[in-house]
Amino acid sequence: MKADLLAEFETPEALLAAVEELYRRGYRVLDAFTPYPVHGLEQALRLPRSKLPWLVLPFALGGGGGCYGLQAYLNGWDYPLDVGGRPPHSAPSFVPISFEMMVLATALMGVLIFFALCKLPELHHPIFEVEGFAGASQDRFWLGIDGRDPALKRGTTEALLASLGASRVAWTGETAKAAETSEAVKKPTEAAEEVPGAVTKEEPS
């Protein structure tokens, strides 16, 4: 997902309504950028559940099981210690460390996989150059449309976004430079008037 066309909304309601409206109009490669996880967006964006738990599960099992095996080898076989006449391989006393290592392995790999899934760290990104995008981590709600989205049309989409209540509409990176020279760039409010059917509230039929 590359957010090429961005639109800023003032409220989570407006963003959510815009996402739903865009989906209805055939837009499929969308994303939202918000200061906190806005509930309901995952359904609106048709995003699948995170695979994180399944990805860390093998490491949890490996960490716990591996650590049990290590203890059994160290104290039960390679260097047996007779403590109070208990068997060298005494399962209950290997449980605590196995549990701790299961947790440690899950946490360490969980963080790494989490960042990998988010494609972080990525310190520089063209999206940061968009004016006002800093608000996405504070009090503004941004919507992104991928440049490869089949429904995206330069000129029309900007107007549609403005009509949905976007307070800002902007292109990122190279597309922004290209857009500057193209005649399609108009002030969102002006463009909105020219697009028939770009109305926020549709009557239920």
Residues 6+ apart with CB under 8 A from 203: none
| 70 binds another protein per the rule CB under 8 A | yes
Is the CB of 15 or the CB of 179 nearer to another protein? 15
Residues 154-183 that bind another protein (CB under 8 A): none
Is the CB of 133 or the CB of 185 nearer to another protein? 133
Residues 6+ apart with CB under 8 A from 39: none
| 189 binds another protein per the rule CB under 8 A | no
Of these, 83, 148, 177, 193, which contacts another protein (CB under 8 A)? 83
CA-CA distances (angstroms) from residue 119 to 27, 39, 125? 23, 22, 11
| 59 binds another protein per the rule CB under 8 A | no
Would you say 130 and 174 are in contact if contact means Cβ atoms under 8 Å apart?
A: no
| 35 binds another protein per the rule CB under 8 A | yes
Of these, 7, 22, 29, 136, which contacts another protein (CB under 8 A)? 136
Of these, 61, 93, 189, 190, which contacts another protein (CB under 8 A)? 93
| 11 binds another protein per the rule CB under 8 A | yes
Of these, 5, 7, 29, 101, which contacts another protein (CB under 8 A)? 101
Radius of gyration of the chain (CA): 26
Tell me the sheet residues that pair with 144.
6, 31
Would you say 170 and 143 are in contact if contact means Cβ atoms under 8 Å apart?
A: no
| 122 binds another protein per the rule CB under 8 A | yes
Tell me the HSE value of 73 on the side-chain side, using a 13 A CA sphere: 6
- Among the residue ranges 129-137, 145-153, 164-172, 181-189, the one whose residues contact another protein (CB under 8 A): 129-137
| 142 phi/psi in degrees, rounded to 5 | -105, 145
